[in-house]
Amino acid sequence: MKKGLPLFVFLLSVTLSVVTAKAQSGSQLRFCLGAAPKTLNPLLVDDEASDTVRYLTGGVLMRLNRMTQQLEPELATSWKVSRNGDSISFTLRQNVRFSDGTPFSAEDVAYTMQRLMDPALHSPTGDAFRSSEGKIVTQAGGKDQITIVFPAPVVGLDKLFDQVAIMSAKSPQKEMAVLGPYYVAENKAGSYLLLNRNPNYWKHDAGGRQLPYIDSVRLDIQQNRDIEMLRLARGEIDFINTLSAENYDKLEAQAPKMAFDAGVGLDSEQIWFNQVPSSPLPAYKKAWFASTNFRRAISESINREDLARVVFRGHARPAVSWVSPANKFWFNTKLQPHPFDQKSALKLLSQEGFQMRNGALQDRDGHAVEFSVITNAGNKVRERMAAMIQQDLAGIGIRLNVVTLDFPSLIERITRSFNYEACLLGFVNDDLDPNGQMNAWLSSAENHAWNPNQKAPATAWEAQIDALMRTQASTSDAKKRKQAIDKVQEIVWQQEPFIYLVNKDAMSGVSTALRNVHPVVLRPQVYWNVEQLSIGAEGSRGR
Amino acid sequence: MQTRLSSLVRGVSKHAARLLIVLGLGGFLGATLVRLAPGYGVDEEELDSRLNQESIQALRQSHAREDSLPGFYVRYLIQLMKGDLGDSQTLHQPVRQLLAERFPETLKSVGIGLALAWTAGLTLAMAAVMARARAVDLAACLLASVLLCIPAAVMALLFVIAQAPGRLVLGLIVFPKIFHYSRNLLLRSASLPHVLTARAKGLGGFRVFLWHVLPVAAPQLLALAGVSASLAFAAAIPVEVLCDLPGIGQLAWQAALGRDLVLLVNLTMIVTLITLLANSAADLAANPRRAGEA
Amino acid sequence: MKWVRLAAILFLVVVSVACLSADFVAPAPYARQFREVPDAAPSSQHLLGTDDLGRDRFSRLLYGTRVSLLLAPAAALLSSLLAAVIGGAAGFAGGWLETSVMAATDLFLSLPWLFLLITVRAFLPLNVSPIASVAITFALLGCLGWAAAARVICADARTLCGSDVIVLARACGIGGFRLLWRHVVPNLKPILYAQFWISIPVFILTEANLGILGLGVAEPLPSWGGMLRELESFSSFSAQPWLFVPLILLMVTVSCFHLALQNEEVWA
């Protein structure tokens, strides 16, 4: 009996492992992508679908924990950023292999960074590191030590590595050999992708079991949000990463345990006016849009509370600036949303010579104030917002024409022909650090939406913003940066080049069968801890 | 005999030449429409605030490479003759592979859809004519009108909810059109004097219909059959997108949204070819002597 | 079945009067947003409830009916006339003209007209009024919707040209345009009617889908097609059955048109 006991325990533990493994083996996580990924090359990722694949397959040196918003070691066990922020040294994890068995070393990190920073590649991730011209230098100190030196200091250097999936320098599979929890096993273009577990994934749980728990991930390409909801209700998919307010309410009514609202997110919705001097607009309209009082008046004529309550069903709040309140460190808490005050708006307009005549607002030359706002068609939320703003502006005698366009036509108008008057769009913010939006705020930049590519700042306040953004980019002192960014927010609040409308909540729908789920505000809201998700009895569900 | 054969060969050659010319023209005109429409050559990526000036310029230049439309089309035709359909700009895969994967799916959908549409449409039209009862005709017309009024998206959603095959939606979209045309054609044929004579002579309803009503309307019905193929392909686009069927309709929609010129030109030529073949076959079936004509 | 026809005519009269006098009948302006009660169920204040922006659905249905009932039949008529002229002339003329016209028709059926519509939108001024925008939309649909019917009409005309009626007319010395207009085109009516009936609901629904290109009815003007788009959400089916009223109204109206204008002699 005594001799048999250890054997019995051994057999029991083996049996239990097998049973547990069987409970998970063949398990599949299923969710939908809104569009087919444009690329599977992690260095060229720019759309949400490709980013999803990169997140699930890419191994990174450090990962920003989406819940704690702190950097955690991944393929790098430790790292150090130099005092002036122009270099970073890593100690790499040992005995790690790519999905095809190729060993991981400092050479792969060097290779990845050299490719990423190649100016000819024009990688969006690479451009985030590029604070000036010049090449990077990689210094490998053995297989598991590497230092990367940049030509100039890079603000928030360490956090940027969350987006850099390490590629193999030697593998014949090139970018298909990965270090993340999954690898791409099948890609039916435009239909679905199947990701299988990486057999060589380095991460293990506390009990020594290799992660991920779920064996495979199926990503279906599904453009229709209503059908996606239906599939979630039927159990055909396991979660919806981003739910609209309408669908959130429906889900909450039907299955409250499946609906998650993580609170106000980082994204914003805003309107801006075309202030490009060479645009094909009549001169009097250019004068309107260039007037700060005009923009402030429009802003004060829009009822943001109603937008949040009616369009977003209470799952949004009036926006103040380009930094969301969810971004606790960078948000300027002294600023409040512009109040809905049409009397004040009319006062501002009268200062610019506008007057009400027979119920219609006219400028000093007698032109009736009428302009159009373009937005992307098929986006019901924006169409509703535009309709509400149309009614709000009618209250001060302004006629607003809502024009919905297909997205490529809209992009052409706002970036090439500048044949538009106002535009209603949203900004998707993945990055907590506002330095990521440098190219939106510099007056000389392409993405300076209301008046891009200025040879010299057209206004004093834009010159001020240029100076402040450059100041914050040139120092790693968080306090100084915060002061500069606060000031930029203040200027934007006063001048209203963007009329910020609302910040939406981050909402998701998750099947009750999915475990260890803790939806958060940062993307990817639901599957940020994908290797720890499981289906069935194990783990917990967070709220 | 030899004269007839040579005449037939001449006729078929002329048909084939005409087909090729129209096909080529279709591809070029399709390319022109895509190329000249606003939004061509722009990329959503340009709005990414991480990209610096050089990257955005490089992105724009990569799309501007095919600025000359005739040049693009000539290059495309040369590649086509070598069997290379080019690469999709949005899906980054060879077009040939995409079409090989998806075309059978659409063929299946269109086949099933047309079969359902014609079976239901012609059967109901026949019933309306043969029954010679207002109530039957009224019921059939109401059914067709009801189906015409339901948006394709709603119909597709109903099928998705009911977990019924999405392919049948296509049939329900095309059926009312086939029914209305067939009904009117058959009713007109049934009102001709010779039909009255046949009935007066005591011929049975079905025999009158088969031998005296249907043959009169046959050429028009055959023309309708040819046209219904292109109607079905047009209906395939929203149905495949909504019901998630991985066919060329879904591909066409993605290509349109992404202004994927190469893919759209190929798809246009395929649809043109199918339309031409279907309508030519219908014409020849209606009038076999035309096979030898110029 | 006379009573059925009478009932259909009566219904059409009621609908026409109601939507023409929408300014008096509608309980609220179609654009007014009752923001305190969005997505409300039917009540005494709002007979069909309110939409997601709190606009009275009944008012929007009345005004939307006006827009769609006026413009869709006009566009259907345009497409039918174009089909008649093009298909009829081709079938009548025969020979190389018929071959060329039918080849062009096949081409027309195959081209991606979506891009033409996008281009048209680009050339329109941004500040075009909602009425002008919807009129242009329906005019475009009318100009683009003739091809399928033209093919069938051509086959019909070709057959007619070999019929006894036409042979007799030719023997009497009638030829050319007079023969086409007085003896061929009237016999094409069955297909033209079919084309007309089919086009009305198809154009109404297509107008709604053209919103994705910036064409179609612009806010805040309502249309049948726009209201039917609200059905594209699966939970509406059970939760908000009153959303089906525009669909039912469309079905009944189209059916009534059909009944009211159908030729009784067919059943003699």
In sequence order, what DSSP letters do the residues of A375-411 get, joined into one string? EETT-HHHHHHHHHHHHHHHTTT-EEEEEEE-HHHHH
Q: Please report the pLDDT score of residue A494 as a whole number.
A: 96
Q: Is the dihedral of CA A400, A402, A403, A408 positive or negative?
A: positive
Confidence of residue A274 (pLDDT cuts 50, 70, 90): very high
Beta strands A370-376 and A360-362, pairing class: unpaired
Q: Could C212 and A406 be called an inter-chain contact, meaning their C-beta atoms sit closer than 8 Å?
A: yes
Nearest Cβ partner for C38 among A310, A370, A372: A310
For residue C266, pLDDT beyond 50: no
Q: What are phi and psi of A207, to 5 degrees?
A: -85, 5
* Nearest chain C alpha carbon to A251: C235
Q: Please report the pLDDT score of residue A309 as a whole number.
A: 96
For residue A3, pLDDT beyond 60: no
Collapsed DSSP state (helix, strand, coil) of residue B260? coil
* Interval A132-161: pLDDT, tens: 788 899 998 888 999 999 998 898 899 999
* Summary mean pLDDT of chain A: 91
* Candidates B21, B28, B154, partner chain C, best to mutate (most C CBs within 10 A): B154
Report d(CA C137, CA C217) in Å as an integer: 8
Confidence of residue A23 (pLDDT cuts 50, 70, 90): very low
Count Cβ–Cβ pairs < 8 Å, chain A vs chain C: 79
| Top-confidence residue, A506 or C193 | A506
Q: Please report the pLDDT score of residue B1 as a whole number.
A: 64
For residue C248, pLDDT beyond 50: yes
Confidence of residue A361 (pLDDT cuts 50, 70, 90): very high
Residue pair C259/B149 in contact by the 8 Å Cβ criterion: no
Nearest Cβ partner for B146 among C103, C159, C251: C251
* Interval C180-225: pLDDT, tens: 888 888 888 888 888 888 888 888 888 877 776 667 788 898 988 8
Which residues have C-beta within 8 Å of that of residue A214, sequence separation ≥ 6?
A: A24, A27, A28, A29, A197, A530, A533, A534, A535
State which of A352-361, B122-131, C62-71, C183-192 shows the largest mean pLDDT.
A352-361
Whether A406 has its CB under 8 Å from any CB of chain C: the answer is yes
Confidence of residue A19 (pLDDT cuts 50, 70, 90): very low
Q: Could A408 and B48 be called an inter-chain contact, meaning their C-beta atoms sit closer than 8 Å?
A: no
Nearest Cβ partner for B275 among C110, C114, C229: C110
> What does the block give as tokens for B93?
């895969």
Q: Please report the pLDDT score of residue C241 as a whole number.
A: 86
> What does the block give as tokens for A300?
């004060």
Give all chains having 3 or more CB-to-CB distances under 8 Å with chain A.
B, C
Q: Is the preceding omega at residue C220 within 30 degrees of 0, hence cis?
A: yes
Q: Could C159 and B220 be called an inter-chain contact, meaning their C-beta atoms sit closer than 8 Å?
A: yes
* Candidates C60, C235, C238, partner chain A, best to mutate (most A CBs within 10 A): C235
Least Cα separation, residue B266 to chain A (angstroms): 17
* Nearest chain A alpha carbon to C235: A250
- Mean pLDDT over A325-339 rounds to 93
Least Cα separation, residue A343 to chain B (angstroms): 36
Percentage of residues in chain C with pLDDT exceeding 70? 93
Q: Could B54 and A122 be called an inter-chain contact, meaning their C-beta atoms sit closer than 8 Å?
A: yes
Nearest Cβ partner for A391 among C33, C212, C234: C33
| Top-confidence residue, B253 or A261 | A261
Residue pair A377/C213 in contact by the 8 Å Cβ criterion: yes
Contacts with B59 from chain A: Cβ below 8 Å: 122
Angle at C159 between CA C161 and CA C257, to 5 degrees: 105
Least Cα separation, residue B238 to chain A (angstroms): 11
| Top-confidence residue, B33 or A466 | A466
Contacts with A411 from chain B: Cβ below 8 Å: 39, 42-44, 46-47
Which residues have C-beta within 8 Å of that of residue C1, sequence separation ≥ 6?
A: B134, B135, B138
The model's pTM is: 0.89
Q: Could A411 and B44 be called an inter-chain contact, meaning their C-beta atoms sit closer than 8 Å?
A: yes
Task: Kindly state the DSSP code that residue A515 receives in the 8-state scheme.
Answer: E
- Mean pLDDT over A100-123 rounds to 93
* Nearest chain B alpha carbon to C187: B188
Nearest Cβ partner for A226 among C54, C219, C234: C234
Contacts with C121 from chain A: Cβ below 8 Å: 405, 409
Q: Please report the pLDDT score of residue C170 as a whole number.
A: 86
> What does the block give as tokens for B293?
């004509």
Name the least confident of A20-24, A129-133, A435-439, B228-232: A20-24
For residue A1, pLDDT beyond 50: no
Residue pair C119/B38 in contact by the 8 Å Cβ criterion: yes
Contacts with A227 from chain C: Cβ below 8 Å: 234
Q: Please report the pLDDT score of residue C68 as a whole number.
A: 84
Q: Please report the pLDDT score of residue B291 as a whole number.
A: 52
Strands, E, within A51-144: which ranges?
62-64, 71-73, 76-81, 87-92, 137-140
Q: What share of chain A is helix, strand, coil (3-state, %, to 5)?
A: 35, 20, 40
Q: Is the preceding omega at residue C42 within 30 degrees of 0, hence cis?
A: no
Q: Is the dihedral of CA B182, B184, B187, B193 positive or negative?
A: negative
Q: Please report the pLDDT score of residue A227 as a whole number.
A: 85
Name the least confident of A15-19, A383-387, B212-216, C73-77: A15-19
* Candidates C50, C136, C207, C219, partner chain A, best to mutate (most A CBs within 10 A): C219
Q: Please report the pLDDT score of residue C235 as a whole number.
A: 61
Q: Could C107 and B141 be called an inter-chain contact, meaning their C-beta atoms sit closer than 8 Å?
A: no
Q: Could A227 and B242 be called an inter-chain contact, meaning their C-beta atoms sit closer than 8 Å?
A: yes
* Summary mean pLDDT of chain C: 85
Nearest Cβ partner for C211 among A311, A377, A387: A377
Count Cβ–Cβ pairs < 8 Å, chain A vs chain B: 113
Contacts within 8 Å (CB) and 24+ apart, A17-24 = A23/A536, A23/A537, A24/A213, A24/A214, A24/A215, A24/A534, A24/A535, A24/A536
Name the least confident of A469-483, A529-543, B191-205, C250-264: A529-543
Q: Could A409 and C218 be called an inter-chain contact, meaning their C-beta atoms sit closer than 8 Å?
A: no
ipTM score of complex: 0.88
Whether B43 has its CB under 8 Å from any CB of chain A: the answer is yes
Q: Could A446 and B51 be called an inter-chain contact, meaning their C-beta atoms sit closer than 8 Å?
A: yes
* Interval C111-121: pLDDT, tens: 888 888 888 88
Confidence of residue C254 (pLDDT cuts 50, 70, 90): confident
> What does the block give as tokens for C120?
């048209």
Collapsed DSSP state (helix, strand, coil) of residue A474? coil
Report d(CA B255, CA B247) in Å as an integer: 13
- Mean pLDDT over A375-393 rounds to 94
* Candidates B22, B134, B145, partner chain C, best to mutate (most C CBs within 10 A): B145
Residue pair B236/B247 in contact by the 8 Å Cβ criterion: yes
Chain A positions contacting chain B at CB under 8 Å are 35-36, 38-39, 46-47, 119, 122-125, 127-128, 130, 188-191, 220, 222-224, 226-227, 230, 406-413, 415-417, 436-440, 444-447
Q: Is the dihedral of CA C256, C260, C262, C268 positive or negative?
A: positive
- Mean pLDDT over C122-131 rounds to 83
Whether A115 has its CB under 8 Å from any CB of chain C: the answer is no
Interface of B with C in 141-200 (CB under 8 A): 141-142, 145-146, 148-154, 157-158, 160-161, 176-177, 180-181, 183-185, 187-188, 191
**Residues paired with A72 in a beta bridge:** A63
For residue A276, pLDDT beyond 90: yes
Give all chains having 3 or more CB-to-CB distances under 8 Å with chain B.
A, C
Whether B250 has its CB under 8 Å from any CB of chain A: the answer is yes
For residue A42, pLDDT beyond 70: yes
Least Cα separation, residue B105 to chain A (angstroms): 12
- Mean pLDDT over A346-350 rounds to 96
Give all chains having 3 or more CB-to-CB distances under 8 Å with chain C.
A, B
Q: Could A47 and B45 be called an inter-chain contact, meaning their C-beta atoms sit closer than 8 Å?
A: yes
Q: Could A310 and C35 be called an inter-chain contact, meaning their C-beta atoms sit closer than 8 Å?
A: yes
Confidence of residue A84 (pLDDT cuts 50, 70, 90): confident
In this structure, the number of other CB atoms found within 10 A of the CB of residue A141 comes to 12
Q: Could C219 and A383 be called an inter-chain contact, meaning their C-beta atoms sit closer than 8 Å?
A: yes
For residue A257, pLDDT beyond 90: yes
Chain C positions contacting chain A at CB under 8 Å are 31-33, 35, 38, 52-54, 118, 121-122, 126-130, 211-214, 218-220, 232-235
**Residues paired with A30 in a beta bridge:** A218
Nearest Cβ partner for B246 among A188, A411, A415: A188
| Top-confidence residue, C118 or A169 | A169
For residue B15, pLDDT beyond 90: no
Q: Please report the pLDDT score of residue C175 as a whole number.
A: 80
For residue B294, pLDDT beyond 70: no
Percentage of residues in chain A with pLDDT exceeding 70? 94
